[in-house]
Structure 1
Amino acid sequence: MSDQATPKINLPSGLQKPLDKFYEYLRSEKGLSLHTQRNYRQQLETMGQHLNEMGVKSWTQVDAGWVRQLAGKGMREGMKASSIATRLSSLRSFFDFLILRGELTANPAKGVSAPRKQRPLPKNLDVDEVSQLLEVDETDPLAIRDRA
């Protein structure tokens, strides 16, 4: 995968080396599309940068509290709930990889849920639509029931 689309962020080796191994795993063993690989890379390197800024130098230091802080930071930055869910999903996959390699014993992102997506409220019916619903054949018992 080319690094031209995603600029390289300088992270401490304790954060960067496991990411590089994960990217190779995604490419060679998982066979994910380039688009998916880029998404994982973008999300994980952004979170790695945030962790570095917070003083975390290794993925083994990350616990559920750090993961919640990352999600909260995204919310404060105005990220959509779906974007935070994507970020947490890539983090869960990465931690599962670290568990597979024996570097972690538990996935700190498993118990952290993304914020719920806002659902739009249903639209009100206008007067003509209500009238149309109420117009029924008065001789049909089922139509009278439906009108009620």
Structure 2
Amino acid sequence: MSDAARIDAFLEMMSAERGASPNTLDAYGRDLRDASGVLKGRLTQADAKDVSRYVSSLAAQGLAARTQARKLSSLRRFFRFLFEEGDRKDDPTSRLEGPKAGRDIPDVLSREEVEQLIDACGEDVRLRCLLELLYGAGLRVSELVSLKLGNLPRRKAGSWETREIIVRGKGGKDRLCPLGAPALDAISDWLEVREESLPKKTVQAKAAGTYLFPSRGKEGHLTRRRLGQMLDALSLKAGIKPSRVHPHALRHAYATHLLQGGADLRAVQTLLGHADISTTEIYTHVLTDELSRLLDTAHPLSR
């Protein structure tokens, strides 16, 4: 019973039975192979002391509490799988307590900064469309790059029949994302020139033809890495630090600006596709910080 074989079997189960996304499977695979390497290929035979020492070593490496908690979560699921499959008669993680992973409050781009980024797109209609969907619909990067033409609303006589797109989110769950006029206009502008970016080879063109943002790469669509490079260049052009401009930063801005405008927290949860409202509540901390600064600067007793 080698580690590699059982890890592969675990990932196959997570994909087939739990519908885990490729990104989730990649994360599980990395975590488990890392643990197997530290334990010299004896992860499947590890006892509670072995696992405890491994978890302690994560803290010694200076890994963030959230990263430690994620790696321990991967181990828990893996050993539960081994137990259910009859490969083990115990779970060495059952009594382990992991670090509490606090939530980092995101550094949110201001409305003015988002406008700077959009203005910096200039005549690049593809980049403007990408930006409008990240900020105008709060899409995750994986949701954006894999968006298909069939997910768009129908067009009739040059206008959109509806204002929603269908997005395939985490766990393969679909949700409707309403779009504003700027995002719909950006999509229309991009569709007028999109064919120019399609691969010339027939086989590649067939695969890429279904995506809103096609690519000549093997995936058929724009990659997350390439999008990140595009945003880095755009941020420099807009005069904003590249470290502050990434796909998730625009998703953060989307959620925060909605709440600042008076949107209900439950509505924002639905729009973001969060399964648990506690994930959405992080944005209320951002607003609380802003209100505290307002109190410090505007209240007469604070002077």
Q: 1:131 corresponds to which residue? A: 301
Q: 1:144 corresponds to which residue? A: none
TM-score, structure 2 length as denominator? 0.34
Does 2:17 align with 1:29? Answer: yes
Q: Call closer, same or farther: CA 1:72–1:105 in 2, change over 3 Å.
A: same
Match of 2:8 among 20, 24, 29: 20
Matches within 5 A, 1:1-148: 14-52=2-40, 57=42, 59-60=44-45, 62-117=46-101, 126=296, 129=299, 131=301
Partner-residue secondary structure (3-state), 2:39: helix
How many Å apart are 1:66 and its aligned residue?
A: 1.1
Q: Call closer, same or farther: CA 1:68–1:128 in 2, change over 3 Å.
A: same
Q: Is the 8 A contact 2:76 2:93 kept in 1?
A: yes
How many Å apart are 1:29 and its aligned residue?
A: 1.7
Deviations 1:29-77 (A, max 9, x none): 221111111110011111111111xxx53512x1111111111111111
Partner-residue secondary structure (3-state), 1:27: helix
Between the aligned partners of 2:74 and 2:17, the Cα distance in structure 1 is 16
Q: Call closer, same or farther: CA 1:116–1:27 in 2, change over 3 Å.
A: closer
Matched residues, percent identical? 27
Between the aligned partners of 2:20 and 2:100, the Cα distance in structure 1 is 27
Q: Is the 8 A contact 2:66 2:102 kept in 1?
A: no
The letter for the 2-side match of 1:93 is: R
Partner-residue secondary structure (3-state), 1:30: coil
How many Å apart are 1:99 and its aligned residue?
A: 0.6
TM-score, structure 1 length as denominator? 0.67
The structure that has the greater radius of gyration is: 1
Higher RCO (Cα < 8 Å, 6 or more apart): 1
Which segment is superposed worse, 93-102 or 106-115?
106-115
The letter for the 2-side match of 1:131 is: L
The RMSD of aligned alpha carbons is 2.6
Question: Any stretches of 5+ residues in structure 1 without a counterpart?
Answer: 1-12, 133-148
Count of matched residue pairs? 115
Between the aligned partners of 1:51 and 1:105, the Cα distance in structure 2 is 20
Report which of the two has the higher share of strand: 2
